[in-house]
């Protein structure tokens, strides 16, 4: 049996999940790790933070440092480009899921 590396397939889902929650309000690393964990994704800070930084470099998120209970926390918010990307992705996900869950085999 061939070992399947689903992490490669799930990375886009993780990014969309991040955008989805950031669209609802600011998010921070530990919270999104716990939220993704509720959906079966197990991400370490060493995996999540490069994703967040990459999304910020791509213009989908913007971050700021906030003082919370005497400690600084980096908080991420969605940008207009992130909202646009999320809207387009929702259409693509809806189309893909419709195809994935139809009761017919894909044509070759």
Domain locations in the chain?
11-100
| Model pLDDT, residue 46 | 94
| Model pLDDT, residue 103 | 59
pTM attached to this predicted model: 0.83
pLDDT digits (tens, 9 = 90+) for 11-52: 889 999 999 999 999 999 999 999 999 998 999 999 999 999
Is 76 within 8 Å of 59 (Cβ atoms)? no
Is 76 within 8 Å of 61 (Cβ atoms)? yes
Lookup: tokens for 2: 């061939």
Fold (CATH) for 11-100: Arc Repressor Mutant, subunit A (1.10.10)
User: Residue 52 and residue 75: Cα distance in Å, rounded?
Assistant: 10
Contacts 24+ apart (CB under 8 A), 25-31: 25/77, 26/75, 26/76, 26/77, 27/75, 27/76, 27/77, 28/73, 28/74, 28/75, 28/76, 29/74
Is 82 within 8 Å of 89 (Cβ atoms)? no
């Amino acid at each position: 049996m061939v070992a399947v590396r689903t992490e490669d397939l799930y990375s886009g889902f993780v990014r969309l999940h991040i955008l989805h929650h950031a669209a609802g309000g600011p998010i921070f690393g530990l919270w999104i790790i716990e939220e993704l964990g509720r959906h079966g994704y197990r991400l370490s800070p060493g995996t999540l933070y490069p994703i967040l930084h990459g999304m910020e470099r791509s213009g989908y998120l913007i971050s700021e440092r906030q003082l919370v209970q005497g400690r600084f926390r980096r908080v991420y918010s969605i940008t207009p480009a992130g909202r646009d990307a999320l809207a387009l992705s929702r259409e693509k996900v809806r189309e893909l899921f419709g195809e994935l869950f139809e009761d017919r085999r894909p044509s070759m």
